[in-house]
A = this chain, B = another copy of it.
Amino acid sequence: MSLLEEKSQNTTPISQLGEFGLIDHLTKNIKLKNENTIKGVGDDAAVIDMGDKYQLVSTDLLVEGVHFDLGYMPLKHLGYKSVAVNVSDICAMNGVAKQITVGLAMSNRFTIEALDELYAGIYLACEHYGVDLVGGDTTSSTSGLMISVTVLGEVEKENVVYRSGAKINDLVICTGDLGAAYLGLQLLNREKEMFNENPTMQPDLTGNDYVLKRQLKPEAGVKYITILKDLDIIPTSMIDISDGLSSEVLHLAKSSKVGITIYEDKIPVDYTTMNLANEFNMNPIVCALSGGEDYELLFTISQVHYDKFKKDADFTIVGYVTDASEGNNFIAKDGTSHPLTAQGWDAMKK
Contact = CB atoms under 8 A, between A and B. Distances in A.
A63 B140 contact: yes
A333 interface: no
A102 B40 CA distance: 12
Q: Main SS of chain A's interface residues?
A: mixed
B22 A140 contact: no
B146 A146 contact: yes
A103 interface: yes
A148 B61 CA distance: 9
What is the total number of copies of this protein in its complex? 2
A213 B50 contact: no
A111 B141 contact: no
A106 B77 CA distance: 24
Contacts of A57: 99, 101, 134-135, 150, 152
A168 interface: no
A32 B228 CA distance: 28
A12 interface: yes
A64 B143 CA distance: 10
Interface in A1-26: 1-5, 8, 10-17, 19, 22-23, 25-26
Nearest to A23: B138
Interface residues of A, number: 101
Nearest to A110: B14
A112 B12 contact: yes
A54 to B, nearest CB: 11
A41 B135 contact: yes
A216 to B, nearest CB: 6
A108 B58 contact: no
A57 B113 CA distance: 28
B150 A59 contact: yes
Contacts of A213: 1
Contacts of A278: none
Which 10 A/B pairs are nearest by Cβ-Cβ distance? A46-B134, A148-B148, A51-B51, A65-B142, A150-B150, A59-B101, A40-B134, A46-B135, A12-B112, A8-B113
Given A1-B216, A57-B99, 16 more contacts: A1-B77, A1-B212, A3-B203, A14-B106, A14-B108, A14-B112, A17-B112, A22-B138, A27-B133, A30-B133, A34-B131, A36-B98, A37-B134, A64-B142, A137-B148, A146-B146
